[in-house]
Amino acid sequence: MSFRFEALEIPDVVQVTPTRHGDARGDFSELWRHGAFHGHGITAAFVQDNLVRSVGGVVRGLHYQLPPRAQGKLVYALEGEIYDVAVDLRAGSPTFGRSVACTLSAEMGNGLWIPAGFAHGYAVTSERADVLYKVTAEYDPQRDRGVRWDDPTLAVVWPVSEPVLSEKDRALPSLAEAELPG
């Protein structure tokens, strides 16, 4: 098997661990294979790849896009380590407003599948991190939204106390004030 799929506490969010094949030269692993993912119910069709480099202590998020450009994301840390968070914003979901998180690192080689309808963010817990994420809809600045990383109603326990934030992320609304995906 090329991948191990592990559902988190919100079962639609799935930690993905590719098999690494190594020898004296280094190692090789697949990050995405259509048949393997579809066989585990992840029927994503990716249309854009993003690469983000961040310094330690950065928090990015919590971001999402409104339909019809809502994005599912497959996230990997290619260098360094991040604490990756997904918040359920799906209307009517029994886990609405709840979050799940896991550590992603280049060393572990694991990734996280986050379906559309979730806000996504992460904290960089290493000196720096390069993060690759594949998305199921192209970026649309007109539908780009977010929720404050430290909204107390979300109760996310972040591993950084004084994060480095963008001006955009500092200005994000609380969950109660946010325009939600539906």
Q: Catalytic residue positions?
A: 63, 133
Please choose, from the candidates 81, 118, 86, the residue with its C-alpha nearest in 3D space to the C-alpha of residue 103. Answer: 81
Query: 111-131 as b/e, with b when 16 or more CB fall inside 10 Å?
Result: bbbbbbbbbbbbbbbbeebbb
Per-position DSSP letters for 76-101, written without gaps between them: EEEESEEEEEEEE--TT-TTTT-EEE
Token pair for residue 120?
């996504």
- With a CB cutoff of 8 Å and minimum separation 6, the contacts of 93 are 117
The one-character DSSP state at 19 is P
* Residue in this structure with the two tokens 């390069």, named with its chain if needed: 130
